[in-house]
Amino acid sequence: MSRGKHLSLEEARKAGKLGQFAAEHPAIGDREKFDQLLGSMASGKKPAKAGTSVPDASAGSSDTRFRRDT
User: What residue segments make up the domains of the chain, in order of their start?
Assistant: 1-41
State the pLDDT at residue 16. 94
Flag whether pLDDT at 55 surpasses 70. no
Under the banding of pLDDT at 50, 70 and 90, the label for residue 65 is confident
pLDDT in tens, 8-24: 999 999 999 999 998 99
**47: amino acid identity, one letter:** P
28-51 pLDDT, tens digit each: 889 899 999 899 889 988 777 666
Per the confidence metrics, is the pTM higher than 0.75?
no
Residues 6+ apart with CB under 8 A from 18: 12
pLDDT recorded at residue 6:
82
Distance CA 20, CA 6 (A): 9
